[in-house]
Amino acid sequence: MLRPARRVTISGMPEAATAAAPLDEPRPPRKLYRSSDGRWLGGVARGLAGHLGLPVIWVRLVFVGLFTADGLGALLYAAFWFFVPLGVGGVEAQKPPSLVTTETSPDGRKRLVARKPDKGQIVALLLMVVVAMVFVGNVNLGRGAQAYLLPAVLAGAGVALVWRQADNARRARWVEVGRRKRTLTLLRAVAGVLLVTAGVTGVFVLQGSAAHLGSVLQAALAVLVGTTLLAGPYLVRMTQDLSEERLMRIRAQERAEVAAHVHDSVLHTLTLIQRNADNPGEVRRLARAQERDLRTWLYKPEGTGKDEADEPTTLADAVRRNAAEVEDKHGVPIEVVVVGDCPLDERIGAQMQAAREAMVNAAKYGGDGGAVQVYAEVEGKTVFVSVRDRGPGFDPDSIPADRMGVRESIIGRMERNGGTARLRAVPGGGTEVELEMERVEKTS
């Protein structure tokens, strides 16, 4: 999820063994999935449409068309439903956000709630029933079979209901379903079972005569209750075991993630530190870089751009990034405090460059006195950045002419962009650079 460059090589294990399992490297050949998003019945049509790159409505029409051919469409549909797993692939790009069903659960939950009425599905089901009735009414299969059609359709509807239920259960593995959905689930399951029972009962009644209806129904009910009594506790236990196992698996996954990260970064750093034990500067640099990295990894909230490849877009990001880079390059600890935050614009960008230059100077000339302190604050429209070191300090009025860094990169850059830069000696020793800049007007 987070670390694409996870190495699975464990020291001592032959490389070939790990290479044999290229789990997530190449995309597997596109597999057919039923779509769980925006489906009407089983998601077969949507899944197929996505797979073939066709509009959903075409696929649906084809199914309906085949349906009129002696119910072939229904059989096909049922077969697809049975054999094709429910997945997130194969949805057409109609609703881009819904493609990420596997991702964050709060997002998914929201979407599930929003779709609760499921109007499309209800309409589709009703339509199916009507079509089936018409079909039953029109098709002539011969005297004997004709009578069995209605019970068969009833049973089919029940089976469909229960299957959908199974699909939902499977989907619940990706997105947590709220507690209120549970009762609905139960109701649907019961309705499905009743429908199937009715259908099967119908078949038996037809074989005998209408007079046996009562006793057959009783028998069916008795069998049903018996089965429930026998299998019920077992099923409940199984579901509990399953959910427990799922939880364990998620934990194990998380653990593996942390372990991978620790292996990748922390262990490597510790190894490097052991090798460089007699070089305190290098050790300190490594340790600080590692600390920063781990801290970011641990404390950064989920979903706020954990991938660090992209450019910083806010002041706080930019300040931290700059400080980290200067710290790594010059081996001087830089402590950053940021109050408030704002998006970067071109003026603030210039200020960031000036601040970076100030940090470099502080690290170069004042780094012996201890950590460099960087403080950034956004107050209204003003962005203030201070960089201070505890080095020997120097007289700001007598900046040598060759100190282009200060004159051009800091003072000049700030002034060209409409800000101010101030250098001064701090009472307690050291130098402080103060940079002040107004943010660009939003309206202009």
Residue 359 CB, nearest approach to other proteins (Å) = 13
> Is the Cβ of residue 49 or residue 435 nearer to other proteins in the bound state?
435
Residue 113 CB, nearest approach to other proteins (Å) = 23
AA letter at 349: G
Residue 377 CB, nearest approach to other proteins (Å) = 7
> Is the Cβ of residue 131 or residue 324 nearer to other proteins in the bound state?
324
Measure Cα distances from 20 to 17, 24, 25, 62, 79 in Å: 5, 12, 11, 42, 34
Which residues bind to other proteins, rule: CB under 8 A?
A: 291, 295-296, 299-301, 316, 320, 335, 337-340, 369-371, 373, 375, 377, 379, 386, 388, 390, 426-429, 432
> Is the Cβ of residue 92 or residue 389 nearer to other proteins in the bound state?
389
Residue 335 CB, nearest approach to other proteins (Å) = 6
> Is the Cβ of residue 70 or residue 291 nearer to other proteins in the bound state?
291
> Is the Cβ of residue 305 or residue 429 nearer to other proteins in the bound state?
429
> Is the Cβ of residue 14 or residue 428 nearer to other proteins in the bound state?
428
> Is the Cβ of residue 163 or residue 375 nearer to other proteins in the bound state?
375
> Is the Cβ of residue 88 or residue 385 nearer to other proteins in the bound state?
385
Residue 73 CB, nearest approach to other proteins (Å) = 53
Residue 386 CB, nearest approach to other proteins (Å) = 5
Residue 367 CB, nearest approach to other proteins (Å) = 13
Which position has the token pair 């881009």?
A: 96
Residue 299 CB, nearest approach to other proteins (Å) = 5
